[in-house]
Amino acid sequence: MFHVKFADIGEGIHEGVLLKILVQENQKVKEGEDLFTLETDKVNAEIPSPTEGTVKSIRFKVGDKVNVGDVIIIIDDGKEGVRSNMEGGEFIQEESEASPEAPPEAPPKAPPEMKPVVEAGGASVVGQIEVSSDLIASSGEGRMQEVTQNQSAKKILATPVARKMAKDLGVDIQTVIGTGPQGRVMKADIKAAADHLETSAANNLKTSIPDHVSTHTIQTPSAPIQVDEDRVQRVPMTMLRKTIAQNMTLSKYTIPHTLVMDEADVSDLVTFKSETKALALTQEIKLTYLAFFIKAVVLGLKKYPYLNASLDSERDEILLRKDFNIGIAVDTPDGLLVPVIKNADHMSLFEIAKKIEELTQKAREKTIALGDLSGGTFTITNYGAVGASFGAPIIKYPEAGILGVGAIVKKPVVVEDEIVVRSILPLSLSFDHRIIDGANAGRFLAYVKELLSNPKLLILL
């Protein structure tokens, strides 16, 4: 029997919704034939059959939520024993949280086989799914617990799902007491440990509040909101919306945000864009202001590299990024996504514009690859596209800054003691005050402003 599981496809994805089931029980399937479609918080992925055989059981129905490691379909492949796509097809005794006896952890194996995930139209959606061992050695998610000064850390038995959950929830798996067979750490153990940490943190927070501050101003995330149920409509949060909420909370909780704002006279940029629009159309390129913003930001990051950085708080080190990968916040029907334009410093203005159009379309169609949503070093959010002027954008953790650009409007300004009408662009820069001081943030924004006011510099520099 072959157990087809929801395998770990990376990028922090650990749950999904079963969007479509493409086969029926007792149906014969070939290796590579699509079995079901999963909707995650970032992409939709059609999962192919890893073996040839007959569908014996479908354990979930359309609309059900599934987690990494869940068995979704069982295929009779005519072979003895239980195998799964998380063990590379080798014979194993299938493990579950109810199994009476669990095998010891196996030593690391050779690099696992990579199997592509194919979208309905044939285009790759999430790149590749890594087929890995169901029992893996500790990867050092948490610091090792010392038994004695001269003894090494204890060996922890745990499923990959439990290890993944511990990493996501910030739980040191070495400190968790397992309740499974042979002391194996189960998902329930990780959840209990995470709840304990949350309760302890809340208690510590309460004891640190000065007496003159009302504790009623602090509401724990788990506290229910008291409402008249007849006067509200409850709308379940989508997976993407929940992920956005988690990421924004992480960023605001971790990074001390500071904001500087300014206005740039982009009258010459408006003229320059209009003059180059016809040339861009001959190459089937939609040239937008965002391409100019990216070009200016890259030059600014090169001059002020601490804006293109991250803080490694564990080692007290600042990581100055050598790549210039610019994220662009895209408003999609399902919520905000941030595709990343990789190596933007090596791209021309037209190449950037073409990449913006490609990634934006894929993001809105939810066919974008996971690789295009990761690896960013700095982000630009263009709320001017919806008519807004100024904002206070939230940094995309673990980046050091994000530039918000507003709508270009005509305003009366003073130029050489005369009042003239010019095209003005509002700019807002949020930055990580742990590694960037206001002076350098102001210099960076002033330089970006200078480049946008003199657009020919974007081509010459």
Which residues pair with residue 4 across a beta bridge? Answer: 73
Query: In whole angstroms, what separates CA 53 from the centre of its chain?
Result: 36
Taking alpha carbons only, the member of 5, 91, 4, 116 closest to residue 53 is 4
Active site residue 433: yes
How far is CA 396 from each of CA 44, 353, 367, rounded to the nearest angstrom? 23, 22, 22
Pairing of strands 257-265, 309-312: unpaired
**Torsion angle (degrees, nearest 10) of CA 170, 174, 175, 181:** 110
| CB-side neighbour CA atoms (13 Å) of 208 | 7
- Tell me the CA end-to-end span of the chain in Å, nearest whole number: 62
Reported as type and span, the H/E element at residue 420 is: strand 418-432
Catalytic: which of 14, 196, 257, 433? Answer: 433
Cα–Cα dist 296/342, whole Å: 15
Pairing of strands 2-5, 83-84: parallel
| CB-side neighbour CA atoms (13 Å) of 177 | 1
SS percent in the chain: helix, strand, coil, step 5 = 30, 25, 45
| Residue 335 burial class via C-beta count within 10 angstroms: exposed 0-12, middle 13-18, buried 19 and up | middle
Active site residues: 433
